[in-house]
Amino acid sequence: MRSYETILIVRPNANEELIAGIVDKITKTIQEGQGSLLKVDKWGLRKLAYQVKKEKQGYYIYIEYCTPPDILFELERLLSIDENVIKFMTVKLEENYIPAKEPEAPAQPEEETTRGNETFETTLA
């Protein structure tokens, strides 16, 4: 699977229920496609650098997930159809995403080996 991040901008007059509905629709699409949601972060209402669809502000949402590429096309299709989403952008983060594993136990220190009373000298040339 590949990992992606999508940043989308929702119309500023959208209420919390509408924003939650958009996020639910995205997470449902990802999970139905055997993907997994890694992070959802609502950045809130911000001023846009330029007008987008006659809006000067927008509600930003950041979503990080991993999914097969064919599900990504369906996700972007759904976002482009939604009238409340004024802009979105998806970026591929990793080609082959492997979830983080549990940290392993620290390795045991190696035992020192000695050969009787022999002393070895090393010279640097």
Confidence (pTM):
0.74
Give tens-digit pLDDT for 57-85: 999 999 999 998 889 999 999 999 999 99
Rounded to the nearest 10 degrees, the angle between the axes of helix 16-32 and helix 69-81 is 150
Give tens-digit pLDDT for 25-39: 999 999 998 889 999
Residue 21: band (very low, low, confident or very high) from pLDDT cuts 50, 70, 90: very high
User: Of all residues in the chain, what percent carry a pLDDT higher than 70?
Assistant: 77
DSSP 19-34: HHHHHHHHHHHHHHTT
Measured over the CA atoms of residue 103, residue 108, residue 110 and residue 112, the dihedral's sign is positive
Domains of the chain: 2-94 (3.30.70.60)
- Cα dihedral 17, 85, 99, 28 in deg (nearest 10): 50
Give tens-digit pLDDT for 97-112: 676 654 454 555 454 4
